[in-house]
Amino acid sequence: MQEFGFYGNYIPESKKHSCIYNLFTFYATILPYKLTNKVFLVLLFVAIYRNTQFIAM
């Protein structure tokens, strides 16, 4: 089953990446309630940056 990440980038079938992606989507729904918006935006940027770097490799 194909999944698409940010900006329509294809997410390869990798257990490591799917685990990271699932954790990110999980925390993306939880974090705004526990952290300030600034911290969440920084974590969001880092997660997107790591996703693009992983896909580029």
pLDDT of residue 1: 41
Report how far residue 43's alpha carbon sits from residue 31's, in angstroms, rounded to the nearest whole number.
9
Arithmetic mean of pLDDT, 27-49: 72
- Please report where in the chains the tokens 């990798």 appear, as a residue: 14
Q: What is the DSSP letter of 13?
A: S
**Structure pTM?**
0.30
Instruction: Determine what percent of the chain is predicted with pLDDT higher than 90.
Output: 0
Residue 7 pLDDT level (bands cut at 50, 70, 90): very low
